[in-house]
Amino acid sequence: MGCFNPPRTFGHPDILQTIAPVMLIKILKPCRAFLEANGMTLPESASVEIDYLCLAGILATPDEGMDSDVIEGLHVIPAVGTDGNFDELLDIARRNFIEVDLEATACDLAARIWLVAPQILQLKDREQMVERRRKFESFRARDPQKVVPLNKIPTDLGPLQQDLESSFQSKKRGIGCVVVRTDVGSEAHFLIQHGQPCKRVLIRKGAQSTCSLLRPERTDKVIYDPVHNELRMNASGPWDLRLYREKVGLHLFGDPDKFVYAEKYTLAPLQKYGAAALYCRDVGGMEWVRLVDIDYASDGPLNLVDSVKAIDVFEAPAAGNPAAEHREVRSG
């Protein structure tokens, strides 16, 4: 059982109107009885105008009586049906023999795909969600000279998927795990969908307050970059990172210890070269870099730490900033 918090766009008629009426009527058809019970008549065809204000008001506060697939579709379609995704959506439609007219918008394409192959649109939405996460941990190859080309990575992900599922079950994460590979440029991207520990949440059933047990789902991402010979991962915690490092290394590269953790970025250049470490005119598209926030740690028994913030920290000491140059950089 999943948990879904309806986005605010459900309460905006303008968002609903971006979906072609004929598509919207088909999407809403499974919850026709629910809409009628809440005071709205869903037209049988697009020749009758949809009451978008009434519809948006009902969708703004869906409850357990509304079809969950409809809720998911109305979330995914506007999220994926953007102008930036138009070409990709058009390719998806053509590969799935979905008819597309000349005046179709990105949202129309997404709606048509949802009605035929909703799982494809859900995967695209998950990909976008993962891409919005900023923090990726890096694991470099233990032997930098041993680089595996993308075409040498096994295409059968079944053994990896089964091993990961067994590990997740041992951690009470539930049954089911899906691993999907997509090559992006020179990198191999792996999406890993799995359950999370169960939680209880308060819900409303009409006028009653009750409790529901559910198992949230999460999609993690593992990227293999042969150019830098490293794995980059975005996961929920240290256990997941260790799991992916070991299992991906074992099943796709034949060695559970092929990749090892290493600090990718350090403050050592700032300590050694000072402001010169920030010179970037030789990097295309960059004009300047400034250090704006840093901590200085003393060697005294009280572990005194001074935090310095400025438009340019390296200029601050020259202007009389109390941060003394003899102290060591601790973090920044």
pLDDT digits (tens, 9 = 90+) for 156-215: 999 999 999 999 999 989 999 999 998 988 999 999 999 988 887 777 776 777 777 888
Which residue has tokens 């001074």?
Answer: 306
Q: Are strands 187-195 and 328-331 parallel, antiparallel or unpaired?
A: unpaired
Higher pLDDT pick, 10 / 180: 180
Of the candidates 237, 246, 157, the residue with the CA atom closest to the CA atom of residue 197: 237
Let me know: does 100 contact 109? Beta carbons within 8 Å: yes
The percent of residues in the chain predicted with pLDDT above 70, rounded, is 87
Distance CA 247, CA 267 (A): 32
Question: 50: phi > 0 → left, psi -120 to 50 → alpha, else beta; which?
Answer: beta
What are the C-alpha distances in Å from 313 to residues 187, 259, 268, 294, 306?
Answer: 37, 36, 16, 8, 13
Distance CA 252, CA 90 (A): 32
pLDDT for 185 equals: 87
3-class secondary structure, 277: helix
pLDDT tens digit string along 116-161?
Answer: 999 888 888 877 776 665 678 899 999 999 999 999 999 999 999 9
Higher pLDDT pick, 302 / 290: 290
Task: Output DSSP code: residue 232.
Answer: E
Most confident of the ranges 1-10, 27-36, 49-58, 278-287: 27-36
Domain boundaries, given as residue ranges, for the chain: 8-131, 137-261, 268-331
pLDDT for 286 equals: 83
Higher pLDDT pick, 193 / 308: 193
Strand partners, 232: 138, 223
Hey, how many other C-beta atoms are within 10 angstroms of the C-beta on 59?
26
Let me know: does 191 contact 125? Beta carbons within 8 Å: no
pLDDT tens digit string along 70-121?
Answer: 888 888 898 888 888 888 899 999 998 988 887 788 888 999 999 999 988 8
The percent of residues in the chain predicted with pLDDT above 90, rounded, is 30
pLDDT for 249 equals: 96
| Contacting residues for 164 by C-beta, under 8 A, at least 6 apart | 177, 179, 192, 194, 243, 247
Of the candidates 132, 149, 115, the residue with the CA atom closest to the CA atom of residue 29: 115
Distance CA 63, CA 81 (A): 25
pLDDT tens digit string along 51-62?
Answer: 888 888 787 766
For residue 2, name the pLDDT band (cuts at 50, 70, 90): very low
pLDDT of 312 over the 90 cut = no
Burial of 304 (0-12, 13-18, 19+ CB in 10 A): exposed
pLDDT tens digit string along 214-254?
Answer: 888 888 999 999 999 999 998 888 899 999 999 999 999 99
pLDDT for 6 equals: 42
> Which helix (DSSP H) or strand (DSSP E) does residue 180 occupy?
strand 177-184
Strand partners, 43: none
| Contacting residues for 72 by C-beta, under 8 A, at least 6 apart | 4, 118, 122
Distance CA 82, CA 199 (A): 33
pLDDT of 4 over the 80 cut = no
pLDDT for 317 equals: 62
Which whole number is the average pLDDT over 283-304?
Answer: 79
What are the C-alpha distances in Å from 86 to residues 66, 89, 91, 182?
Answer: 30, 5, 9, 19
pLDDT for 251 equals: 97
Higher pLDDT pick, 16 / 61: 16
